[in-house]
Copies of this chain bind each other. A is one copy, B any other.
Amino acid sequence: MNHPIDIYPIGIVQRRRDKLWIKLKEDFVEGLLGLDAFSHIIVLYWFHRNDIPEYRKTLQVHPKGNPANPLTGVFATHSPRRPNLIAQTICKITSIEHNKIFIADIDAQDGSPVLDIKCHVPSHQEGRGVRVPDWALNS
């Protein structure tokens, strides 16, 4: 498990004025069939601006960049500094036009490589018995 896994971006996040979309590579358009039946998607993208060895070595952070939050292991956060710079977020689809998925909002930057898109299906148990620390509830 020490050799790297090769991941090829399937698309890119683009922002222009008040519009925001994921532009899928043309080769992958068939992979969108039926996506219009979902209101939300899970998007996995790459924190490309943090792709330097120092950031990929970061193992502890003050969550949300707030020094008042306790020093916490990156695997107990969604920090953009971590060994594999994969971001995970849920987005509301506003429309789909050929290879572009227009979305209501995303915390990614223009040009972020998109690694995967999955349908979002809420669990019936969502939120039941879930426990989180205080810092995770505050902005």
Q: Quick one: given A8-B4, A60-B31, A118-B88, are A39 and B83 in contact (CB under 8 Å)?
A: no
Interface residues of A in 90-139 (CB under 8 A from B): 90, 92, 113, 115-123, 126-127, 129-133, 136-137
Number of this chain's copies in the complex: 2
Docked-complex contact B136 and A127, CB < 8 angstroms = no
Quick one: which of B2, B44, B123 contacts A86, CB cutoff 8 A? Answer: B44
**A41-58 Cβ-contact flags toward B at 8 Å (1 or 0):** 110101000010000000
Size of A's binding interface in residues, CB under 8 A: 64
Chain B's closest residue to A35 (CB) is B76
Q: Which B residues are in CB contact (< 8 Å) with A31?
A: 59-60, 73-76, 82-83
A-B CB proximity, top 5 nearest? A37-B133, A33-B73, A39-B131, A35-B76, A4-B6
20 contacts between A and B (CB under 8 A): A2-B8, A4-B6, A5-B46, A5-B113, A10-B83, A24-B75, A31-B60, A31-B76, A32-B73, A32-B75, A33-B60, A33-B73, A38-B131, A39-B132, A42-B88, A75-B119, A76-B119, A88-B88, A121-B136, A122-B127
